[in-house]
Amino acid sequence: MKRLRWQILVVVLTLVVVGVLLLTQQPIGPVQVLPQPATGGVYSEALVGSLGRLNPLLDWNNPSDRDVDRLLFSSLIRFDERGLPQTDLAEAWGMNEEGTIYNFTIRPNAFWHDGKPVTSDDVIFTIDLLKSDGSLFPQDIKDLWKKVEVTKLNDKTNKSLKFTIPEPFAPFLDYLTFGVLPKHLLEGVPPEGLVASEFNIAPVGSGPYQFDHLILEGGQISGVVLTAFDNYYGKKPFIPQVVFRYFPSSSAALDAYEQGDVLGVSRISRDVLDQALEQPNLSIYTSRMPQLSIVLLNLNNPEVPFLQEPDVRRALLLALNRQRMISSLLKGQAIVADGPIFPGSWAYYNGVEHLEYDPEQAVTLLKGAGYVIPPEGGTVRAKEGTSLHFTLLHPDDDLHTKLAQTIQSSWAEIGVQVDLQPVPYDRMVFYYLGPRSYQAALVDLNLARTPDPDPYPFWHQAEATGGQNYSQWDNRTASEYLEQARVNTDFDVRTRLYRNFQVVFAKELPSLPLYYPVYSFGVDSQVLGVQVAPLSDISDRLALITDWYLVTRRALETTPEGTVVP
């Protein structure tokens, strides 16, 4: 009987344990098949433009060359989507407390496409070429580099170097984004012979893709083929081959997509935007450009003393329906602007006042400032014999002409008379802005290839005479913020200083920000993993191309029953 009782007890305990296990075990649901990026496929893109020279020292004025060079060449550092510096060829860098010495170490696994290691000698060699008459870099950049002492540090690997600048200058890192060239292939080419070098059509870089061959049709270069570089130090691309084909316009490029000749279109301009949006498989990607469209006001012109009054400037901005201008004239391809620092930047402060279209408030401000419609008749507001009447310069192209006419009409509605004067863009700076011989001007401030948000050149009081502070804004508080932010390398401190500057700018409105244009390009929906961030250069749209993929592999994942699968 005792043996039987023990057997019954064992059976009962076993049943209890099994029951507990069954209650706590979740039922197994369906097996999920998850697509994962895999290597394979060919990405082809229609570039708007033509091949010039595949050389980062010679591509300054050729966006289509810069697109290709972005994949072929590397620089010491790159900037991320918020404009913060990140390592590229450089494995690490550091600086002294004063911000005058920068030490860089190049990655030990950085190689040229021909297998040679990338060294400090290559960087120094490239800088010497950059400063020479042979490079197409702007003169102000060449002048800066002539003041920088570049020395190779003593190490066995030839991978370390030092930059010494004469005084603290926080935006200095901007100037380290040039594409590095191989000394061992170009040291025999004199600077003046760089333009005609064979290297420019058979380049060797250190980027994620290497040059394969040119596509020739009818004796002309119609494209270029790149292949993934197996020894690239960074993330290896999923797409092993990229083919760029050249077309004279966005329309021709889009036609090539419609014919199935390419998978991407490098530029979707406003004239083909509607046509592009009709393509069911073409994904349109849009990003803010490094450009600000603005009405500059000459605050130191005695002919228009009323522009010195903050309430008048504020009224002028309130009277502009900027969102409608963007919708009707730019087909929505812009973002309303609040100031000179771009949204998306680490320095942008979203807490400034955002002025909405309010013509009634504009009239109230003008009346409060003493400007009224004369009782003897007329439509132009005046105070003590001074009428709100001035001339607005604008570029003589179709878009800026229509913008200027819209601005003129809007200001007329609040009693401000504006005469329009079209001017060729290449004459605007030399004949009007530079000598300060204007009253107001509709312009585009292009800050391409300068990720650092430094607004000093356009708004510091020291630049009011002879510099780029064309408005001649003389505000000591704002200038002090800009001075301190320019010499302090602590991003937290600089963020606070630029926030303060933006608050002062929004209050004073020394000029009238209109909008930040956006750039659009198209990629077929079968290309996955495409992302785009704010651009400091059009070629930045390809910055994350190593994440793009065309081929997927299947990964199995078992999902417990009842779990919600997104």
Considering only the C-alpha atoms of the chain, give the largest distance between any 2 of them, rounded to a whole number of Å: 125
The answer to whether the beta carbons of residues 102 and 194 sit under 8 Å apart is no
Of 26-30, 176-180, 278-282, 495-499, least confident by mean pLDDT is 26-30
The answer to whether the beta carbons of residues 498 and 347 sit under 8 Å apart is yes
Q: Please give the share of the chain, as a percent, with pLDDT higher than 70.
A: 92
∠ at Cα 193 (187, 197), nearest 5°?
Answer: 75
Which domains can be identified in the chain, with CATH numbers? Answer: 34-54+68-73+207-281+525-566 (3.40.190.10), 74-198 (3.90.76.10), 291-517 (3.10.105.10)
Assign 162 a pLDDT band (cuts: 50, 70, 90). very high
Q: Give the 3-state secondary structure of 241-309.
A: EEEEEEECCHHHHHHHHHCCCCCEECCCCHHHHHHHHCCCCEEEEEEECCEEEEEEECCCCCCCHHHHC
Query: Which tens digits make up the pLDDT trace of 359-404?
Result: 999 999 999 999 999 988 789 999 998 999 999 999 999 999 999 9
Contacts of 348 (CB under 8 A, 6+ apart): 341, 342, 453, 502
The answer to whether the beta carbons of residues 488 and 223 sit under 8 Å apart is no
Assign 57 a pLDDT band (cuts: 50, 70, 90). very high
Q: How far is CA 459 from CA 278, 314, 387, 448, 475, in A?
A: 43, 18, 27, 18, 9
Q: DSSP per residue over 359-394, as a string?
A: HHHHHHHHHHTT-B--TTS-SS-EETTEESEEEEEE
Instruction: Tell me which residue of 173, 166, 92, 157 sits closest to 122, measured CA to CA.
Output: 157
Helix or strand or coil: residue 76? coil
Helix or strand or coil: residue 50? coil
What radius of gyration, in Å, describes the C-alpha atoms of the chain?
30
Query: Which tens digits make up the pLDDT trace of 327-347?
Result: 999 999 999 999 999 999 999
Number of CB atoms found within 10 A of residue 38's CB: 13
Mean pLDDT within 91-107: 96
Q: How far is CA 147 from CA 121, 133, 140, 216, in A?
A: 19, 16, 11, 43
Pairing of strands 551-560, 440-446: unpaired
Q: State the number of CA atoms in the 13 A half-sphere of 307 facing the CB.
A: 25
The answer to whether the beta carbons of residues 448 and 290 sit under 8 Å apart is yes
182 conformational bin, left if phi > 0, alpha if psi -120 to 50, beta if neither: beta
The pLDDT of residue 33 is 59
Pairing of strands 291-297, 440-446: antiparallel
Which runs of E-coded beta strand occur in 165-250? 209-217, 220-228, 241-247
Query: Which tens digits make up the pLDDT trace of 126-152?
Result: 999 999 999 999 999 999 999 999 999
